[in-house]
Amino acid sequence: MNLASAEGHPSEVMDLSFSNQALCIKHIAKNPRMTPHVYSVPKSIDEQVSNLKLTGIGVKIDEMTSEQKKYMSSWEVGTE
């Protein structure tokens, strides 16, 4: 009912979530020595999903400048 009534998350957000989940399950399956634990999504998977989404909607991004990278690395909370 939630999604059908358009009160839930839009499909444009859910596709990213499902993609991350599917690739994380694949990652876990390929790494059977992982112990039960709460893990962050590997950066490589997160970047892969992001890049595929941007390509799919025709968005091109450029590289951050060294000043932008310095600013982003100065944050202690909320950037990962």
Inside any domain, residue 61: yes
Average confidence (pLDDT) over 15-43: 93
Inside any domain, residue 4: no
Inside any domain, residue 45: yes
pLDDT band at 61 (very low <50, low <70, confident <90, very high): confident
Inside any domain, residue 67: yes
Q: How many domains does the chain have?
A: 1
Give the domain range for residue 69: 11-73
Q: What percent of the chain has pLDDT over 70?
A: 85
Inside any domain, residue 57: yes
Inside any domain, residue 2: no
DSSP per residue, 4-60: TTT-S--HHHHHHHHHHHHHHHHHHHH-TTPPS---PPPHHHHHHHHHHHHHHTT--
